[in-house]
Amino acid sequence: MANINEIILREVNPFNRINPKPMNFWEEQQNASLNVDSIHQEVINDIQEFLDLVVTDHRSRSVMIVGDPGSGKSHLLGRLKRTLNAKAFFVYILCDWADSNNIWRHILRYTVDSLIQIPDEQTESQLMLWLKSLSAFTKRSLKQRFFNDNIWEFLSSDRQKFIKHLKDTYKTARIYNPDIFFGLLHDLTNPELYTLACEWLRGDSLSEESMQALKVKQCIESEDEAKNILANFGRISTETKPIVLCFDNLDTMPKMQDGFLDIQPFFDVNTTIHGESLKNFLVIISIITNTLNIHQNRIQQADKAGIHKYLKLKSINLEQAESIWAYLLKNLHIQASSLPKSPIFPLERQLLESNFPGKKTYPRNVINLGMVAYQTYKENIKEEFFKKNNQEITENGKENTQKKTDISTTKNTTDTINNVEEIIQAEFRLLWEQEYKKTQLKIKKINLTASSDLIRMLQEAMELCGVQQIKPKLLNGRFASYSLSYQKIGKRDKIGIVWTEDANMNSFFHVMSACQKVIQQDICQTLYLIRLSSVGQGRLVGYQIYQQVFTATNHIHLKPSLTSVHYLATYHNLINAALSQELVIHGKVINLQYLQSLMQSSKILHKCTLLQDLGLVAKQEPVKDNGNYKKEDLRPVKDFLVNLVKTQSFMGVPTLIKNSVDQFPNVKANDVQLLIELLCQEKKVKIINPKAKLQDQLICLVA
């Protein structure tokens, strides 16, 4: 086995792997390095007490977690889910609704998306566990037990008996549209209808065929309907576990013209939960301290009373900071031939004491300091490696006169060794690839994303491309949030864009009618319809209007690719992280302006074909190989290799290959090795010890 210094030389800096941005605790596995039991334990205890109260009397309650950026608010929500999921059903809600008029529909969508997730150590979703735990199926009369001990199996086979049984059981619970709601719950028991039933419950616009299968005549179309469906979940679950609604990052909600958050409608929602007796909910709101302070006067006093307790996240002590370091370094230590004497080697306690003289700090600061100090140590031991292997001591092709530094007194980054801005650019590209991969796994179909969210993401990308004077809501009426308009610089003509993926043809008809009115009133001179879903056919009036507006006219129908949506959604996620002050790259907090600068310099969105089709970026030619179009574009893999080496200064070749294959599962290790050889030929990277076995080879960057 290798010694610890050899392990450090070849492995990726473990602190680089921690990007403390906000994350949905159902979609991403949170890093356990911050799970020091004593950190924020008093907050967890307080929330558990409130949860126990909800269990006891079923009255909904609200608590607010208040903390500075980097204090671990989002991570705490994930820890609460892991700790208390056995006692409650957990819902994650990012406060990034496109329009404050759609809050309840946004909450319902996130609620169902979370309920269909499978908790740890379970085989069924939260939704099915919730359904099976209802008192209608767990409490049976003597007569029911005599005829059929398993009433769940008995009723799930007969839809009408299922509905009647639930209506009889919850006749006093004031259930909204009980026949429809209980019918949808029965459809959850049918594997062939389960997905459709979930889509209806989350508020999707379904096709007429899908609604017929579910025996419903319409979908959820209003805020009041969404609120009442959400209330139904609580009203019939008083005999089972509560539902915890975790609202994260209020900074991502819409802003008003004066720049302040449109925060009052959200607090109206919280007050409604209590005032209209939405039972069996525990509401947890996570907010930045400064955000709460500057918006205090914009929240009505009655709504402030709806928060039962404010929980302040405290800073951590140095012993807790050491525990974070020890966890992150543990994997390196166990690979070494002998364990280092200190669990935080190559770091030292003195480094924490000198950087945090007040003995208190936040988890983000601990991670950032560890990243810098670890990299400095790695640079120092590189010199010893070169001497041992009779290599000339070089850095980017030049003699390295950098002297070894005492790590215990190191506070600054390795600016003298690497260009910090280049490293930030490289780390950003690696972060983009990581987030893009997550987006691909999350968004499998375009029409599962709300049309209002799609147009909002497009607007963000358009602003990045320099489009000015963008005005939301070109259309009038219920579908206004599906549209926007803008003018090109130096041009008088107004351009409109409408994006709708609603499968329901009645909804499509209303959107087309609104488009026709815009054209007739000459509100815009060119109108783009973005839609991958069907536009109907034959005698459908919506289809006929579509033909009139978008056939043989200067108005254009664009069919977006799923890949384009992945680009837009990934950028949107990074915007949310920046607005929440949780986007950190190379120890630097990236605000929205800096993020936009990184995006523009990288030209990542230039690959988005939808933006190309709209004429906002130049069209790109597909990659060719001997005149034929390649099935697999390996340029992203090649860029990933260079960027990873750039951020690490140098590393082991096997580690580089493994990280690349992990990021690009469709690419084989042999292909990665060929790309590394190509980069060596292009003199972008260099194998330091090419005669060594592959498992011992190290690679570095060449200027």
Q: What is the pLDDT of residue 411?
A: 35
* Least confident range of 11-25, 96-110, 502-516: 11-25
Q: Is residue 316 domain-resident? A: no
Q: What is the pLDDT of residue 691?
A: 87
Higher pLDDT, 140 or 92: 92
Q: What is the pLDDT of residue 284?
A: 97
DSSP symbol at 246:
E
DSSP symbol at 95:
S
Q: Are residue 367 and residue 502 in the same domain, yes or no?
A: no
Contact 499, 454 (CB under 8 A): yes
Q: Is residue 589 domain-resident? A: yes
Average of per-residue pLDDT values in the chain: 88
316 membership: H or E segment, kind and range: strand 316-317
DSSP symbol at 228:
H
Q: Are residue 665 and residue 533 in the same domain, yes or no?
A: no
Q: Is residue 273 domain-resident? A: no
pLDDT surpassing 80 at residue 686: yes
Q: Are residue 584 and residue 439 in the same domain, yes or no?
A: yes
- 3-state secondary structure at position 182: helix
* Least confident range of 166-175, 190-199, 477-486, 574-583: 166-175
Q: What is the pLDDT of residue 21?
A: 60
Q: Is residue 293 domain-resident? A: no
Contacts of 290 (CB under 8 A, 6+ apart): 68
d(CA 703, CA 688): 14
Q: What is the pLDDT of residue 391?
A: 47
Mean pLDDT of the region 34-40: 78
Provide the domain limits for residue 403.
Answer: 324-413
Q: Is residue 475 domain-resident? A: yes
Mean pLDDT of the region 249-266: 93
d(CA 431, CA 467): 26
Q: Is residue 266 domain-resident? A: no
Q: What is the pLDDT of residue 390?
A: 56
Token pair, residue 374, equals: 């670890």
Mean pLDDT of the region 616-631: 66
Which range, 335-339, 455-459, 622-626, has the best average confidence (pLDDT)?
A: 455-459
Chosen domain end from 392, 413, 434 = 413
- In tens, the pLDDT along 464-508 reads 999 988 999 999 988 999 999 999 877 888 999 999 999 999 999
Chosen domain end from 181, 216, 251 = 216
Q: Are residue 443 and residue 343 in the same domain, yes or no?
A: no
Q: How sure is the predictor about 135, in pLDDT bands with cuts at 50, 70 and 90?
A: confident
**Full-model pTM:** 0.90
Q: Are residue 675 and residue 659 in the same domain, yes or no?
A: yes
Q: Are residue 397 and residue 501 in the same domain, yes or no?
A: no
Q: Are residue 661 and residue 551 in the same domain, yes or no?
A: no
Q: How sure is the predictor about 112, in pLDDT bands with cuts at 50, 70 and 90?
A: very high
Q: Give the residue from 170, 232, 229 showing the smallest Cα distance to 201.
A: 229
Q: Is residue 181 domain-resident? A: yes
Exposure string over 294-308, b if 16+ CB within 10 A, otherwise e: ebeeebeeebeebbe
Chosen domain end from 153, 183, 216 = 216
Q: Are residue 450 and residue 559 in the same domain, yes or no?
A: yes
Q: What is the pLDDT of residue 414?
A: 41
Q: How sure is the predictor about 692, in pLDDT bands with cuts at 50, 70 and 90?
A: confident
Q: Are residue 481 and residue 573 in the same domain, yes or no?
A: yes
The fraction of the chain above a pLDDT of 90, given in percent, is 70
pLDDT surpassing 90 at residue 25: no
Higher pLDDT, 138 or 51: 51
Q: Are residue 521 and residue 657 in the same domain, yes or no?
A: no
Higher pLDDT, 160 or 623: 160
d(CA 621, CA 607): 10
Q: What is the pLDDT of residue 282?
A: 96
- In tens, the pLDDT along 323-367 reads 999 999 999 999 998 999 999 999 999 999 999 999 999 999 999
pLDDT surpassing 80 at residue 157: no
Token pair, residue 581, equals: 């002050």
d(CA 583, CA 574): 7
Helices (H), 347-481: 349-355, 363-388, 420-442, 451-464
- In tens, the pLDDT along 392-446 reads 444 444 444 443 333 333 333 344 444 788 899 999 999 999 999 999 999 999 9
Q: Is residue 263 domain-resident? A: no
DSSP per-residue codes, 454-522: HHHHHHHHHHHTT--S-EE--S-GGGGGGEEEEE-TT---EEEEEE-----HHHHHHHHHHHHHHHHTT
Q: What is the pLDDT of residue 472?
A: 94
- 3-state secondary structure at position 285: strand
Q: Are residue 332 and residue 446 in the same domain, yes or no?
A: no
Residue 410 CA: distances (Å) to CA of 70, 211, 354, 376, 395: 22, 65, 9, 8, 20
Give how far the C-alpha of residue 104 lies from the chain's centroid of Cα atoms, to the nearest Å.
Answer: 20
- In tens, the pLDDT along 42-86 reads 999 999 999 999 999 999 999 999 999 989 898 899 999 999 999
651 membership: H or E segment, kind and range: strand 650-652
Q: Are residue 585 and residue 500 in the same domain, yes or no?
A: yes
Q: What is the pLDDT of residue 146?
A: 35
Q: What is the pLDDT of residue 410?
A: 31
Q: How many residues does the chain have?
A: 703
* Least confident range of 261-265, 394-398, 453-457, 677-681: 394-398
- As for how many domains the chain has, the answer is 4
- In tens, the pLDDT along 366-397 reads 999 999 999 999 988 887 777 766 544 444 44
Exposure string over 333-360, b if 16+ CB within 10 A, otherwise e: beebeeeeeeebbbbbeebbeebbeeee
pLDDT surpassing 90 at residue 623: no
Mean pLDDT of the region 190-204: 94
